[in-house]
Amino acid sequence: MGKNAKHDGTFKIGNVGGDVTIQQAGGDIVQGNKSTTETHVQGLQNEQDKQNFISQLEALRGLLREVKQQVESSAALDENSKDALVLDIMQHLQALNSAKQQTQEIAPGTKAAGAKSQGLLECIEGTKSLMDKAQQWGEKAAELTVKLAAVMDKVTPLIVKARTLLGFGG
């Protein structure tokens, strides 16, 4: 193969008369029926992981407070809709605070126990459900749409991270 030839990522070796040198393989090189195993570590690996996760929970709470303020000041929503949505947001703020406290109790290098990790994950995933519900009202109140999008941008990667850190896979 010449210098400018395209590589498809495979090795094709026929009869070789001399040495074979492979440079920059970029991964495992296997022969025959050898298999490779990739390990993904779950749980809060160190204090930094734990503090980063707690910071993300707190940032999510801050965004929800902003959504709450926008709901309360929205002229497009009737009072009953505002009350219902604000109540849901306040309950979720409390649940996220509880999740933060539970996370603080998890020792780095360990996974949360089954029921605790399931509860933490459900709390974080509940934020997405809450925002889906709020989105229905956001269609009536355009000023909410931007703030709801900001919350969804934060919560989706947080859910993925929580699933990994709490031992539920990615």
pLDDT in tens, 142-164: 767 777 777 777 777 777 777 77
Altogether, the residues listed in the chain come to a count of 170
List the domain boundaries for the chain. 47-165
Closest listed residue to residue 130, CA positions, set 158, 154, 152, 102? 152
Q: What is the pLDDT of residues 73-116, one digit of tens each?
A: 888 888 998 899 899 999 999 998 988 888 888 787 776 656 67
On the question of pLDDT at 136 being above 70, the answer is yes
pLDDT of residue 144: 73
Task: Give the closest residue to 75 by CA, choosing from 22, 128, 141, 10.
Answer: 141
The CATH topology of domain 47-165 is Four Helix Bundle (Hemerythrin (Met), subunit A) (1.20.120)
Instruction: Measure the CA angle with vertex 92, ends 91 and 93; round to 5°.
Output: 90
Q: How many angstroms separate the CA atoms of 150 and 160, rounded?
A: 17
Whole-structure pTM value: 0.64
**Average pLDDT rounded to a whole number, residues 45-56:** 85
pLDDT for residue 40: 43
